Amino acid sequence: MLAIATKMWYNSVTSNGIAGGESAFWKGSNAMANRMILNETSYFGAGVITEIVNEANKRGFKKILVVTDPDLLEFGVTVKVTALLDAAGIDYEVFSNVKANPTVFCVKAGLEAFRDSEADSIIAVGGGSAMDTAKAIGIISSNPEFSDVVSLEGVADTKNPSVPIIAVPTTAGTAAEVTINYVITDEKNKRKFVCVDPHDIPVVAVVDSDMMTTMPKGLTASTGMDALTHAIEGYTTLAAWELTDTLHLKAIEIIGRSLRAAVANDPKGREDMALGQYVAGMGFSNVGLGVVHGMAHPLGAFYDTPHGIANAVLLPYVMEYNAEFTGDKFRHIAEAMGVDTSGMDEAAYRKAAVDAVRQLSKDVGIPEKLHEIGVKEEDLPALAESAFADVCTGGNPRPCTVESILEIYKKAF
């Protein structure tokens, strides 16, 4: 009988100090199974938050903790969901102390709120930060042996599924509503760590573009570029396979054609971006990412750089570094971005893919260099060490060393 091993995205550093290598992605025995984990149910389109009440009732939720952040309360975004709960007479409490790039401290505070509220379920309303905090709260509530939070890093051996989460994204970027990952900042050690755990996936995702219309231009642009980074890194990551390739290429196409319109707050652009980022999440959650994310995470930990901006600045530089290790995939990326590649040789279509990404980034107002977003030159060696150790780096198509990562940081500086 064929032994089945589960394909995991998990970094390993080999004895010669190189991050990556296909063998690092297998967990268990010696054969491979491509695996897909998705939400039980998901809803798409402007106005679909009304489905939350049906889902909460159908699932027998008695009391809900709504996990969100203070800005979303202030901008009247969270209230769109709580008003539905009020009208339906569903009992809930709100925890709104989520900060961007959520910390261990923030998760512990949320955990306490969850216990005090005696809720049996969570609705996360927010961007990646609120959804990731909700996942950590949900996982630790069901697996209290991980109450220190930091021991959840990587692939944690949790035994029980998270308390049920309905995830309602308010940014079009992270796709945390459909991923099996969450990212927490260890403020004491100045590092962001990624947790990969199928037990954390929200049971329901409610992807409603009306929840995203209050995003300012800069946030729409940076979170959208995060989604494009997911699609491109997911398409070229070592564990990619045909099904996820299909999802990632479609995501690149949708994001490539709709991000500019979303930044202009066009409703169709918003709706398309909401879908595009989710499609990217369906893919990358199941195969992993690459060194753009590996290098973006330390920027979040060192300078609290918004995640999307860090990725957006780094993406073209990493694409140049990876180009020779991607076969003809950059031709398909260029085409999905709307470039006619007929007659182009390998060098030409690779350059065309990078140029198309640079142009989109420029059009939506993303800076080109790391020094423009507050990165300090003297920190680059420490950032490179941290990026090398990141869970995402092992999935990069071209092997990385601390030195090669430092070179990319320098080019992008």
Ligand X SMILES: NC(=O)c1ccc[n+]([C@@H]2O[C@H](COP(=O)([O-])OP(=O)(O)OC[C@H]3O[C@@H](n4cnc5c(N)ncnc54)[C@H](O)[C@@H]3O)[C@@H](O)[C@H]2O)c1
Contacts with Fe ion, residue ranges (CB under 5 A): 226
Q: How far is the CB of 334 from Fe ion (least distance, A)?
A: 22
Three-class secondary structure of residue 285 per DSSP:
helix
From the list 7, 16, 13, 11, the residue with the least C-alpha distance to 393 is 11
Please give the single-letter amino acid code of residue 207: V
Q: Among 159, 164, 155, 167, which Cα is nearest to 195's? A: 155
The number of residues that bind ligand X (CB under 6 A) is 32
Measured from the CB of residue 213, what is the shortest distance to ligand X in angstroms?
7
Task: List the end-to-end C-alpha distance of the chain, in Å, as a whole number.
Answer: 52
Q: Which stretch binds ligand X (CB under 6 A): 25-33, 141-149, 169-177, 348-356?
A: 169-177
Residue 223 as a binder of ligand X (CB under 6 A): the answer is: yes
Q: By CB under 6 A, is residue 39 in contact with ligand X?
A: no
CB of 28 to Fe ion, least distance (A): 27
The pair of three-digit structure tokens given for residue 177, joined into one six-digit string: 């509503």
Helix (H, G, I), strand (E, B) or coil at 182: strand
Report d(CA 273, CA 218) in Å as an integer.
15
Binding of residue 129 to ligand X (CB under 6 A): yes
The residue nearest ligand X at its CB is: 128
Label residue 330 exposed, middle or buried (CB < 10 Å: 0-12, 13-18, 19+). buried
Distances (CA, A) of 142 to 138, 164, 352, 373: 7, 10, 48, 39
Tell me phi and psi for residue 296, to 5 degrees: -75, -35
Using rule CB under 6 A, residue 69 touches ligand X = yes
Q: What is the largest CA-CA distance in the chain?
A: 64
H/E run at residue 230: helix 217-236
Alpha carbon distance 229, 288 (integer Å): 12
Under rule CB under 6 A, residue 126 binds ligand X: yes
Nearer to ligand X among residue 164 and residue 308 (C-beta): 308
Q: Which of 143, 179, 258, 326 binds ligand X (CB under 6 A)?
A: 179
Which span sits near ligand X by CB under 6 A: 2-10, 53-61, 128-136, 377-385?
128-136
Is 287 among the residues that bind ligand X (CB under 6 A)? no
Minimum distance between the CB of residue 173 and ligand X, rounded to whole angstroms? Answer: 5
Asked whether position 128 contacts ligand X by CB under 6 A, the answer is: yes
Q: Are 207 and 42 in contact (CB under 8 A)?
A: yes
Q: Does 288 bind ligand X (CB under 6 A)?
A: no
Selection from Fe ion, ligand X, none that 170 binds (CB < 5 to 8 A by kind) is ligand X
CA angle, 241 as apex, 240 and 245 as ends, to 5°? 80
DSSP 21: -
- What count of Cα atoms within 13 Å lies in the side-chain half-sphere of residue 351? 5
Letter for the amino acid at 131? M
Among 171, 209, 305, 322, which residue interacts with ligand X (rule: CB under 6 A)?
Answer: 171
Choices 65-73, 82-90, 111-119, 397-405 (CB under 6 A): range interacting with ligand X: 65-73
The verdict on 101 binding ligand X (CB under 6 A) reads yes
Establish if 397 lies at the interface with ligand X (CB under 6 A). Answer: no
In the complex with ligand X, the residue whose CB is nearer, 352 or 357, is 357
Q: CB of 125: closest distance to ligand X in angstroms?
A: 9
212 scored as a contact of ligand X (CB under 6 A): yes
CB of 45 to ligand X, least distance (A): 16
Binding site for ligand X (CB under 6 A): 69, 71-72, 75, 77, 100-101, 126-130, 132, 170-171, 173-174, 176, 179, 181-183, 211-212, 214-215, 219, 223, 226, 300, 307-308
